[in-house]
Amino acid sequence: MRKVAICAPATPLKREYAQAAGRLASDEFPELALHFHEQCFVEEGHFAGSDDRRLAALLDCANDASNDAVWFAKGGYGSNRIAAQFLEKAGDAAKNKLFLGYSDCGTLLGALYRAGIGTPIHAPMPVDIKREGGEAAIRRVLAYMSGNPDGLEPSLTDRPVAAFNLYTLAMLVGTPFMPDLTGHEILIEEVGEYEYAIDRLLFHVTAQIGDIAGIRLGEVTAVPENDRPFGASAQEIVEDWCRRSGIPYLGRAEVGHSSANKIVPFGLEGRTLRA
């Protein structure tokens, strides 16, 4: 049986979503044992507990040798605040684990990838069960952890890859947690940002990202309506900044803040798991 530990490095998860994901796992994937750390449900201001409490829960999950995977329960701002301490205290047991999540938790995925700790994987999180079609997203991840690769991003090639929320990636570049993505295909997605903000983020990212193999654009959802049209779609914005920076634009990807979000193991590892 593969044991999956779940914690919330950023914001809290509603217990009803944990219960729904747990029922789905027990009904359809008996080879997996999901354990939701009680910290997932703690509320302290914006966060799922204080920095110290969130860090302790993450370390509990990562440093327990009996766990095969650490699944981040939910995004929302906050994982960056504990990333440095986590890398300092992550033990040998963390090096053999899968770490799964996306959105704000891309900060931790990037930091893990840079440090060579475990297998970081962009993937839906338990909170996604609340979305329309959310059970399919949860089922995709549970199947992947059971050894079924059908939920992988279909655009994966023989080149290494990484996937990020664009805003999270923009905040990550230039920090001690930014991995070397030379030669990688970078998949980006965004939610809830104005088109002009997407343009500004790409101005920053494309100037800092280095010698990458190219950019693929995932979903851009919940774009607010500005007081005047920006004049370019998200795809046109990405294509423009790729032209300006000399980065190849590689087309679209199936990642983003929706139940269609696909699984992207960082690098070349993790595309096939043993059942």
Count of CB atoms within 10 A of residue 194's CB? 14
Say if residue 1's pLDDT is above 80. no
* pLDDT tens digit sequence for 124-178: 999 999 999 999 999 999 999 999 999 999 999 999 999 999 999 999 999 999 9
pLDDT digits (tens, 9 = 90+) for 51-70: 999 999 999 999 999 999 99
Average pLDDT rounded to a whole number, residues 211-232: 96
Q: How far apart are the first and last CA of the chain?
A: 9
